[in-house]
């Protein structure tokens, strides 16, 4: 995934403090900024004023991909509480530097769950959902919008910026399937690019 998700902002029918969630997997960081709490219901308003996910890590899995659409599931587990966002989009949100959205929560599900016991790491992203723990409470964001901001970063730490390594065109000098900006050995000569003494000169 050539870009990282720098920020995800959800504007929904919740009210509360902002929780910052961080996803780290293979040098990619996902920052989610989620306003969370008040959910409208038929019996009145239920206020969740103490959701603490700051120590938890955001995980993700791609649950479906076809020629035009990708479905992603982002989730956090904090002991007996979980928050998940299922997002379906035709946008290439993780491969370009841009602001994507808005994506409507009427078609993308944001869900909070209170569980009977601590959830394991295999609670999400399984073909067959686990039988335990059981769900005690479920709250669903009924409407609102999701905006995703992605930014490009150098990923191979070779001292050459992603722009100079052709990230815009996914330049792949040695044709090994890894774009140069995430390839530690751009030319495939078994010498790391950082050790090849490359000097870039601005001729403009």
Which of 13-19's residues contact partners 24+ apart within 8 Å by CB, and which partners? Answer: 13/38, 13/39, 13/40, 13/141, 13/142, 13/143, 13/144, 14/38, 14/39, 14/141, 14/144, 15/47, 16/48, 16/49, 16/51, 19/51, 19/52, 19/53, 19/54
Give 2-61 pLDDT, tens digit per residue. 444 444 444 443 332 233 333 333 333 344 444 433 333 444 444 555 567 777 776 767
Domain ranges within the chain, ordered by starting residue: 3-152, 156-204
pLDDT greater at residue 74 or residue 119: 119
Instruction: Give the tens place of pLDDT for each residue, 99-117.
Output: 878 888 777 788 889 999 9
- With beta carbons less than 8 A apart as the criterion, state whether 186 and 165 touch: yes
Contact 45, 77 (CB under 8 A): no
Helix (H/G/I), strand (E/B), else coil: 181:
helix
pLDDT of the residue at 133? 93
Out of 34-43, 113-122, 141-150, give the one with best mean pLDDT: 113-122
User: 151 pairs with which residues across the strands?
Assistant: 4
User: Is the entire prediction scored with pTM above 0.75?
Assistant: no
């Amino acid at each position: 995934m050539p870009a990282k998700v720098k920020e995800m902002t959800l504007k929904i029918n919740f009210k509360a403090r902002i929780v910052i969630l961080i996803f780290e997997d293979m040098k990619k960081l996902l920052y989610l900024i989620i306003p969370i709490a008040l959910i409208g219901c038929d019996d009145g308003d239920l206020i969740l004023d103490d959701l603490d996910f700051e120590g938890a890590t955001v995980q993700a899995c791609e649950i479906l991909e076809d020629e035009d659409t990708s479905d992603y599931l982002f989730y956090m587990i904090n002991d007996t509480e979980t928050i998940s966002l299922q997002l379906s989009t035709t946008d290439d949100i993780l491969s370009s530097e841009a602001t994507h959205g808005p994506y409507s929560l009427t078609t993308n599900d944001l869900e909070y769950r209170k569980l009977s016991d601590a959830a394991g790491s295999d609670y999400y992203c399984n073909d067959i959902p686990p039988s335990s723990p059981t769900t005690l409470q479920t709250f669903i964001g009924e409407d609102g919008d999701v905006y995703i901001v992605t930014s490009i970063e150098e990923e191979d730490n070779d001292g050459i910026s992603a722009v100079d390594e052709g990230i815009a065109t996914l330049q792949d000098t040695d044709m090994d399937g890894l774009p140069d900006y995430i390839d530690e050995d751009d030319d495939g000569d078994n010498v790391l690019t950082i050790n090849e003494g490359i000097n870039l000169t601005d001729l403009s």
